[in-house]
Amino acid sequence: MNVTVIGTGFVGVVTAGVFAHFDNDVFALDVLADKINSLSKGEVPFYEPKLSELVGEGIAKGKLTFTTDYTTAIKDADVIMISVGTPSAADGTADLKYLKSAAASLAPHLKDGTIVAIKSTVPPGTNQIVREIIEKSTSKNFHLVSLPEFLKEGSAVDDTMHPDRVVIGATDKKVIDLLLALHEPISGTRIIVSPESAQMAKYASNAYLAQRITFINQVANLCEKNGANIDEVTKVMGADSRIGSHYWYPGLGYGGSCFPKDVKELAAYSLSINEGDGLFVKLDELNDTRIPKLMNKFEEKVGGFEGKTVAVLGLSFKPNTDDMREAPALKVIPILQQKGAEVRAFDPKANAIARIMFDPAVIVDSLDEAVRNSDIVMVLVEWPEFTTKQPEYFKHIMSGNYFIDARNQFNRREFENSGLTYIGIGQS
């Protein structure tokens, strides 16, 4: 099939690479010429496991072409997938300006019968807006559907090839059959729903997961006051099959490019249709204030940060990505500095980006360099490069004794036996 993906952000590049891998003829289109030049040479502008190889393979097989040219990319497309960004607008709702611009640009070049699928995260009702824009510039028949994306950064290629579900938001039988055929090599349960349900489900899924993380973080706060241990509490709760024991490890709150934005957008969307936004606003507030509150707790436990050298480990928002959007380090490092600490920070993949966001002198080249002679170690992200280290490694090269495990990834008893003072989340 001829597939065109508009927008070469995270979702766009992965989607284009995967459909090219399954032998479709894919155009990946963006208005950013520099980005398209790099991608055409197989250079992916962010770190994501397996993605460079996938893009390289698509280009080498002649199945994946990067372009800025709407005419070439649209005129023969059977399916167009729009995966441009939908950042939050000033009022908190999803800003549809890139989506509208893509719709206006593709419309004059459409062939008859093309399927235009919105992959970007957008509120229900968006299809009507996009339909009106496209109809202004074409008299051709086209089908507008929703194909929400559920991939996670760090495992995006695997998630796209083997998702839990493939959601098709469409009503026309022929369109549904064609999209089912396109997704045939991809595993996962097929769920056919209306476009509105597909779009609502995407926001609701992200907000639900964000809520789950926030919930357990709130319970962790209680554990810190009453002698309970959050890891034991989740073990008990998770044994209830209605609850399950996945996806709620406690920590510094949720970050990344999706959850914080999507919870805010859902709150604003809710208000815009005259519904209460209380739950979503509260989630956002609890998540936003979590790091400053935890930093006060840590400060008390280590007897103040003033004059101490702190090794901050992990600068991306989670492991296996160099994405620093809404990463905990963006809040943690300024707080440490403001409290008078000397920070030495390290990340296995995000150092280059971090050097743009912070004074480059703060970012060091290796784990050893960060940890050596530090008074306090703070692990913000569970990179395997950190979590596979034994307590003796830290004990031998640190000057001080405080080990803050902000993701509850290390064995408390082993760390205490080696003479370190272990500080975790949700345990006193």
Closest CA to 252 of 209, 287, 300, 207: 287
**DSSP state for residue 110 in the 8-state scheme:** P
User: Which positions ≥6 away from 312 have C-beta within 8 Å?
Assistant: 329, 332, 333, 336, 343, 344, 345, 346, 370, 378, 380
Given 206, 214, 309, 427, the residue binding ligand UGA (CB under 6 A): 206
Given 29, 84, 127, 149, the residue binding ligand UGA (CB under 6 A): 149
Given 33, 247, 306, 356, the residue binding ligand UGA (CB under 6 A): 247
Burial class (CB in 10 A: 0-12, 13-18, 19+), 403: buried
Q: Is 151 in the site for ligand UGA (CB under 6 A)?
A: yes
Instruction: Judge contact between 57 and 51, C-beta under 8 A.
Output: no
Given 22, 150, 215, 393, the residue binding ligand UGA (CB under 6 A): 150
Q: Is 317 in the site for ligand UGA (CB under 6 A)?
A: yes
Give the nearer residue to ligand UGA in terms of CB position, either 110 or 327: 327
Minimum distance, C-beta of residue 306 to ligand UGA, in the bound complex (Å): 29
For residue 145, give the amino acid letter: V
258 is catalytic: yes
Closest CA to 311 of 352, 354, 369, 361: 369
Give the nearer residue to ligand UGA in terms of CB position, either 63 or 349: 349
For residue 370, give the amino acid letter: A
Minimum distance, C-beta of residue 252 to ligand UGA, in the bound complex (Å): 7
Cα gap 214→251, rounded to integer Å: 9
Q: Is 362 in the site for ligand UGA (CB under 6 A)?
A: no
Give the nearer residue to ligand UGA in terms of CB position, either 150 or 393: 150
Q: Which helix (H) or strand (E) holds 311?
A: strand 309-313
Given 92, 123, 256, 348, the residue binding ligand UGA (CB under 6 A): 256
Q: Which one from 122, 147, 258, 302 is the annotated catalytic residue? A: 258
Give the nearer residue to ligand UGA in terms of CB position, either 21 or 119: 119
Single out the segment in contact with ligand UGA by CB under 6 A; choices: 24-32, 143-151, 358-366, 411-419: 143-151
Q: Which helix (H) or strand (E) holds 350?
A: none
Q: Is 251 in the site for ligand UGA (CB under 6 A)?
A: yes
Instruction: Judge contact between 77 and 42, C-beta under 8 A.
Output: no
Cα gap 305→257, rounded to integer Å: 30
Closest CA to 174 of 141, 201, 138: 141
Given 248, 386, 403, 415, the residue binding ligand UGA (CB under 6 A): 248
Given 14, 84, 258, 312, the residue binding ligand UGA (CB under 6 A): 258
Given 249, 280, 346, 394, the residue binding ligand UGA (CB under 6 A): 249
418 to 279, 298, 321, 378, 413: CA distances (angstroms):
43, 20, 31, 17, 9
Q: Tell me the site size for ligand UGA, rule CB under 6 A.
A: 20
Give the nearer residue to ligand UGA in terms of CB position, either 83 or 127: 83
* Contact residues for ligand UGA, defined by CB under 6 A: 121, 149-153, 206, 209, 213, 247-249, 251, 254-256, 258-259, 317-318
Active site amino acids: 258
